[in-house]
Amino acid sequence: MIKTISSIRKSLLALPIHVHIRKLQTFSKYNAQAASALEERKKLFYQDDEYADMDWDNLGFALTPADYMYVMKCSKDGEFTKGELSRFGNIQLSPSAGVLNYGQASLLKENGKVLLFRPDHNAVRMQHGAERMLMPSPSVDQFVDAVKQTALANKRWVPPSGKGSLYIRPLLMGTGPVLGLGPAPEYTFIVYASPVGNYFKEGVAALDLYVEEEYARAAPGGSGGVKSITNYAPVLKALSRAKSLGFSDVLYLDSVKKKYLEEASACNVFVVKGRIISTPATNGTILEGITRKSVMEIAGDQGYQVVEKAVHVDEVMDADEVFCTGTAVGVAPVGTITYQDKRVEYETGDESVCQKLRSVLVGIQTGLVEDTKGWVTCIN
């Protein structure tokens, strides 16, 4: 052992002096970092001051950030990780964690041109929603310009014809600091994009819907007519339960009488009986969808009588056809609806009213059908 130690000492002494200096510098660096981390840790948990430097006599209910906050994240499986204290400060947030959001699909025309479908109407809808939520909103020109720039910048992500669409989502969120109940002092408008296929896993196949009686999606005087997270959060529990039972989506009834149809979780609904197409009236609890509005106009052009009214659930169960509309959904046929253990099947297929309306709408959106209404904007 003595020989071993001695030989080690000799080998160390034999090293060039600059190597020793570098080793000492490295050791000193790590030692300083460890000392700094330890000091910061001490500062984190051991505050010697009895009180912070604050005018306690004039303390109102406004945000004055204290020193630290606790952060703990949760994974998709519902398990929270071990949290930790950190200095009060900004957090990272995905753009897709939107508060007030509006879908805007961009499609690729046959000749390679990028088309936007009624972006000005989406802009106006954001303004209406922002007004209800007491938020400022971009002008129509600012909104449309932002969507155009985002679409062009992400042009290579537009799927080939018939393969899907580039889903462009403008969103508006409060990002300024506020503690009490009131508008945020700052807002951020973001537009991002993602290539998408069919919204429902069934693709273009007919949907199986379940009429929900326990949970309400929206109430009169609330924000059901606003495309915000407050519109979608209430549907998650009922939707999860319905999907676990094998249904595609949920049809919600009015929150007062529980007898009149409202809409599905993320789309409007239409009921066909003969040449009459009925859809729930937008009375503040139903989203005024851009696709909904477009399909109503197309149906009127094709000679159907389109009626906006209170649609009783019994009418739905006696209909010839039912279909849903939405930016992400498009025009989707409904194959069955289950209500109070009664299951009704509806007409679907190439000769259905749903398919005829869908063909015209998609044709206009992709440039295959002449746009005589000025709905499509080419941005190349």
233: DSSP letter: G
- 42 annotated active-site: no
- Using DSSP's 3-state secondary structure scheme, residue 230 falls into helix
Measured distance CA(367)–CA(161) in Å, rounded? 11
54 vs 177: CA distance, rounded Å: 19
Of 263, 274, 260, give the one whose Cα is nearest residue 347. Answer: 274
The answer to whether 322 and 337 are in contact (CB under 8 A) is yes
Amino acid identity for residue 8 in this structure: I
Collapse the DSSP code of 275 into the 3-class scheme (helix H, G, I; strand E, B; otherwise coil) and give the result: coil
Whether 173 contacts 190, CB under 8 Å: yes
Catalytic residue among 109, 148, 163, 227: 227
Helix (H, G, I), strand (E, B) or coil at 333: strand
CB-based burial label for 101 (10 Å; 0-12, 13-18, 19+): buried
What is the C-alpha radius of gyration for the chain, rounded to an integer number of angstroms?
29
Distance CA 36, CA 296 (A): 67
Which positions are catalytic?
227
